[in-house]
Amino acid sequence: MAISAKTFLIELYEEYLEEASFLYEQRLSLLVNPEISWKKIGEFEERFEAHIDGLVVGGDLAIEVCKRRAEEGDFGELHAAVRVFCRQNRKDLVVTLLENVDTEDDQKVKAIADALKHELPAEWNEDIFLFARVNPRVAPLLAIVVGYSRAQIGETLDVLCESQQRSMVEIIWAYGRLGKPEAFPKLRKYLDSHDPVVQSIAATALLRLGDEFALSRGLKEIRLSTWPLVPVALAGSRAAVRLLMEMAGECVATEDWLTAIGLLGDISAIPVLLDHLSNPKIAGAAALSLYLITGAYFSETVFVPEEVDEDELFDDERENLRSGIAPLRSDGRPFGTNVTQISQERQGWQTWWAENESGFEPGVRYRLGKLYSPGSLVEILGSDQSPHLVRTLAYEELVVRYGTDVPFEVDMFLVSQQNAIERMKDWVQQNGHRFREGANVFY
């Protein structure tokens, strides 16, 4: 039986939303997949964009479908719908979603924030951000958008801060993105938080604004808590290297501690990092830090077993599991996947270091085997090989150490990232000569 043209279009737009939802979710997983280059994600973004374009062209009927699926569908469909509403200048529909969003649903909150980060029309800024006065629950969501877009619209963050008394992480992060030193008093008080995550994010935001107080505070407390580790590594000098090395025999090593050593880039840490390759719980962080300093990249493929949910097993499988026998596939192989990673094999690293140590000079900083500089950090941002975490921290270092003012985030769409990286290359050409290679700088 023939269907009407309207029914056909409704089904088509529903299909667009389903496919856009899949691509959005896929992109989120690929962003942090160590085996996928960030540049490959552009292929998914192009396909996603084609479906959004199809919905925009669909006009009022497509908007009706988007309204329904935003309420009834999954978080990926909600994300796609918000992008369509922004492109169709339907501020009323976005406001309605903000009024009704379940702020306890992290996936839906992120879906809306991600859409607004990329699509929010500048002319909506004042109305949308001031909406937090009416509905304080959305303040963290909107703070992400403010920080991401670097929206300079009066005292926006102050308004969001006043309306939010519980979760401040997003607002603190956004203050660091806007680059306003007058935020020092607001941010410094969060260094006294009892939440180490809040303390670390506040310290990083302060360092981005050039506040040495956050660095000195971190150095004083680094033996007492984990929160100062990464912020101190982002801005610290040789004194920070000595302090971290003194801690090597005083405490149980953590991933953040090992990452901090790698960021500081001093070859005196190489023996300590080699020693920690023997601990499987933190060997990955030790290997990453060895890579950060030396630039040596040799990979290995390892089998990662799939986490077993006992509730999904048959009785006999459950009994076997309790006896140490994991369930197997029909072909007799265990459940899991092969993953390619930076080698954690100690002997290989020791051999490489013995052969190459003479090419490194004590007392200077290295990043990927080159003297530390803004140029080496921008190179990391543009490299296919750079892991997600390394790129994230490299951008923070460019701002903290060298004061670059080019907006950038590692979850920008590919084209936007590439444009920002080209701007940073231009910035390095104009400013790189002001900084001595291999030196510790805090801009």
Q: For residue 341, report the phi and psi dihedrals to the nearest 5 degrees.
A: -145, 170
CB 168 within 8 A of CB 190: yes
pLDDT band at residue 97, thresholds of 50, 70 and 90?
Answer: very high
What pLDDT sits at residue 183? 86
Confidence label for 165 from pLDDT (cuts 50, 70 and 90): low
∠ CA 36-298-436, rounded to 5°: 90
CB 196 within 8 A of CB 223: no
| pLDDT score of 318 | 66
Handedness of CA 258, 259, 261, 266 (dihedral sign): positive
- Average pLDDT (255-275) is 94
List, for residues 200-209, the tens digit of each pLDDT value: 999 999 999 9
Last residue of a domain, one of 74, 104, 119: 119
Angstrom distance (rounded) from CA 341 to CA 301: 6
17, part of any domain: yes
| Residue 268 contacts residue 241 (beta carbons within 8 Å) | yes
Judge contact between 44 and 27, C-beta under 8 A.
yes
Strands 370-371 and 366-367, by their bridges, are antiparallel
Distances (CA, A) of 73 to 52, 77, 334: 16, 6, 35
Q: Kindly indicate the confidence band of residue 314, based on its pLDDT and cuts at 50, 70 and 90.
A: low
Tokens coding 397: 């270092």
Within a domain: 422: yes
**Between 152 and 98, whose confidence is greater?**
98
Q: Residue 105's pLDDT band (boundaries 50, 70, 90)?
A: very high
Lowest mean pLDDT segment, chosen from 23-37, 295-309, 371-385, 426-440:
295-309
User: Which pLDDT tens digit goes with each residue over 139-149?
Assistant: 888 889 989 98
Residue 245 falls within a domain, yes or no?
no
Predicted local distance difference test score (pLDDT) of residue 316: 63
For residues 336 and 47, which has the higher predicted lDDT (pLDDT)?
47
Q: Is residue 262 part of a domain?
A: no
Instruction: Please list the helix, strand and coil fractions of the chain in percent, rounded to the nearest 5, in that order.
Output: 65, 5, 30
Residue 371, beta-bridge partner list: 366
Cβ proximity of 212 and 442 under 8 Å:
yes
Measured at the CA of 312, the angle between CA 318 and CA 301, to 5 degrees, comes to 85
Residue type (1 letter), 102: D
Query: In this structure, which amino acid lies at residue 100?
Result: N
Helices then strands, counting H and E runs in the chain, come out as 23, 4
Integer Cα distance of 411 and 118 in angstroms: 10
The distance in angstroms from the start CA to the end CA of the chain is 71
Place of tokens 């994300």: 79
Per-residue pLDDT at 2:
59
| Share of residues in the chain with pLDDT > 70 (%) | 87
Say how far apart CA 108 and CA 257 lie, in whole Å: 33
Give 172-185 pLDDT, tens digit per residue: 999 999 888 888 88
Cα–Cα distance measured from residue 365 to residue 380, given in angstroms and rounded to the nearest whole number? 15
- The verdict on residue 226 lying in a domain is no
Asked if residues 284 and 344 have their Cβ atoms less than 8 Å apart, the reply is: yes
pLDDT at 303: 60
Residue 414: inside a domain, yes or no? yes
Number of domains in the chain: 2
> Taking the C-alpha atoms of 388, 390, 392 and 397 in order, what is their torsion angle to the nearest 10 degrees?
-170
Does residue 325 form part of some domain? Answer: no
Residue 385 amino acid letter: Q
| Domain stops at, among 84, 119, 154 | 119
Query: What type of residue is 5?
Result: A
Residue 228: closest CA among 253, 208, 198: 198
278 CB contacts (<8 Å, ≥6 apart)? 346
Residue with tokens 């190179």: 379
pLDDT tens readout for residues 216-253: 999 999 998 999 999 999 999 988 999 999 888 776 78
Least confident of 90-94, 127-131, 327-331, 375-379: 327-331
- Using alpha carbons, select from 412, 391, 401 the residue that is nearest to residue 441: 401
CB 164 within 8 A of CB 136: yes
CA atoms within 13 A on the CB side of 244: 33
The C-alpha atoms of residue 442 and residue 432 are separated, in whole angstroms, by 14
pLDDT by residue (tens digit) across 374-426?
999 999 999 988 889 999 999 999 999 999 999 999 999 999 999 999 999 99
Domain that holds residue 55: 1-119
* Of 119, 148, 181, the domain-final residue: 119
pTM, to two decimals: 0.88
Query: Are the beta carbons of 397 and 234 closer than 8 angstroms?
Result: yes
In this predicted structure, the answer to whether residue 67 has a pLDDT above a threshold of 90 is yes
Predicted confidence band of residue 133 (pLDDT cuts 50, 70, 90): confident
| DSSP H or E stretch at residue 303 | strand 299-305
Q: Which are the contacts of 355, defined by CB distance < 8 A and separation ≥ 6?
A: none
Supply the DSSP string of 187-215, one letter for each residue: HHGGGG-S-HHHHHHHHHHHHHTT-HHHH
CA distance 442 to 307: 43
Q: What is the pLDDT of residue 130?
A: 75
Residue 298 lies in a domain: no
Q: What is the predicted pLDDT for the residue at 64?
A: 97
